[in-house]
Every structure is written in C-alpha cells, then in structure tokens.
Amino acid sequence: MSGWQTLFYKEVLRFWKVSFQTIAAPVLTSVLYMLIFGHVLEDHVKVYDQVPYTSFLLPGLMMMAVLQNAFANSSSSLIQSKIMGNLVFVLLAPLSHWSWFVAYVGSSIVRGLAVGAGVFLITGWMVHIEFVHPLWILAFAFMGAAMLGALGVIAGLWAEKFDQMAAFQNFIIMPMTFLSGVFYSIHSLPAFWQRLSHFNPFFYMIDGFRYGFFGQSDVSPWTSLSVVGTALLVVSGIALHLLRTGYKIRG
C-alpha cells in the first residue's frame, strides 16, 4: 500500500477497534432522540404535507450523527496523537500534506457514514421513509462528512489539550448542529432566527439531505449544494494549508 493508504487504514482501524464507543454509542443516542422527540411531538408538529414528524425527524438525526462523528474522528485522532507523543512516527514517514488530508478526512467520512447508516438501520423501520432523490442524499452525506472531517483536522491541529478540543466542539459544532433544523423547519421560527439560520452552513447540509428523501425543503437544493460546496472548499483549503506548513506539529 502507498503512504496515504497505510495511514487511512490505520485511522479506520483506530475507530473500528472501539466501534462500541465510536459507532454503537452515537447510534444509540440518535435512537433515544427519535423515541423521545417522536413520541412527544408526533401529534403536535407537522412540517411538510403528508410527512409525519417522525419521518421528517429521521433524516435530520442521520445527518447530525454523520456530521458530529466525522468531526470527532479526525479531531480526536490528532489531539490524542499530539498529547500522547506518537504523532512523531507519522511525521517521520515521507507523507505529503495531501496524504495526511486524504487519510484523516477519508477515515472521517467512513466513520460518519457508518454511524449515519447505523441510525437508519435501527430507526428506519419505525417510520415511513421515502427516497425521492437518492443522489442528493449521497451527495450531501458525503460532502457534509468531508467538510466536518476537514474541520476536525483544523481543530485537532489547533488544540493543544483536551479542554480546548471540548470547547471547540461544545461552543461551535454542537450549537451549529442543533440550530440547523434537525428537529424543526426554519419556517417555524421568527423572522430574525430564520435569517440567522441562513448563515449556518449546517442548515444547508441537513436541508439538502432531507430534500433527497421527501423532495421538499426549506430552500432550493441547488442553493444548498452551492453553499455546502463552497464551505467544503474553504475548510479543506485551510486544513491543507495548516498541514503543509506543519502548524503546531512541526518544530
């Protein structure tokens, strides 16, 4: 195997060996969200015509799981390697910054999609779900996982201790995820919060992903695709620049 393939295999094996923690646990969390919110709000919330609330909720939970776990994979791997001191063994290998990027982001995509698929397999039987535009589903799932994997690389390079990583996740990733329309349509919000939601790229990921299931969305899927694609390019460019310059990992 080439250098990037070896590093990619190492990163996939790293999370797969503790799959009970990295895959089963987040799937269980999403199942609990489905059971609790679905039971409480099923008869009280209606978003789209002919779409029950639990059916509306499932794609949001799937995408939320994809995004959070893609970010967690690359960020946790880098910060653990930096603190434990074993990142030096990767630095000694003749790997380009592209090899690092493809390996860390690629493994994050694998983990994110694995968790998202797990959420669907466990909860999909609970609701009536359709696949109106499957290519949109795949496109937004892949791009969302790639963007959060690249963002995880940035966070992992920036953070020097676990407290900083926790702050990044708790004050940036979690709020942007929960305020992106996972549990609601932004049209149910006051005008100010609707406008504010349009500045959140996570909203476009989830809205475009949901469009693939129902053929309905809060904004045009092409708008969502352009926003997510632009955000992916920007975040990936920053991550590649930091890897190329050896930000906080090379003396």
Q: In this structure, what token pair is assigned to residue 154? A: 């940035």
> Is 251 among the domain residues?
no
> Is 140 among the domain residues?
yes
pLDDT (0 to 100) of residue 195: 87
pLDDT for residue 49 is more than 80 = no
> Is 23 among the domain residues?
yes
Please give the residue range of the domain that contains residue 131.
Answer: 3-245
Number of domains in the chain: 1
> Is 250 among the domain residues?
no
pTM, rounded to two decimals: 0.94
Q: Which residue has the higher pLDDT, 54 or 18?
A: 18
> Is 129 among the domain residues?
yes
Place 22 in a pLDDT band, splitting at 50, 70 and 90: very high
pLDDT for residue 54 is more than 90 = no
Residue 235: φ, ψ to 5°? -65, -40
| Contacts of residue 208, Cβ cutoff 8 Å, sequence gap at least 6 | 136, 139, 140, 217, 221, 224, 225, 228
pLDDT tens per residue across span 123-173: 888 888 889 999 999 999 999 999 999 999 999 999 999 999 999 999 999
pLDDT tens per residue across span 56-110: 889 999 999 999 999 999 999 999 999 988 888 888 888 999 999 999 999 999 9
d(CA 244, CA 242): 5
d(CA 47, CA 125): 21
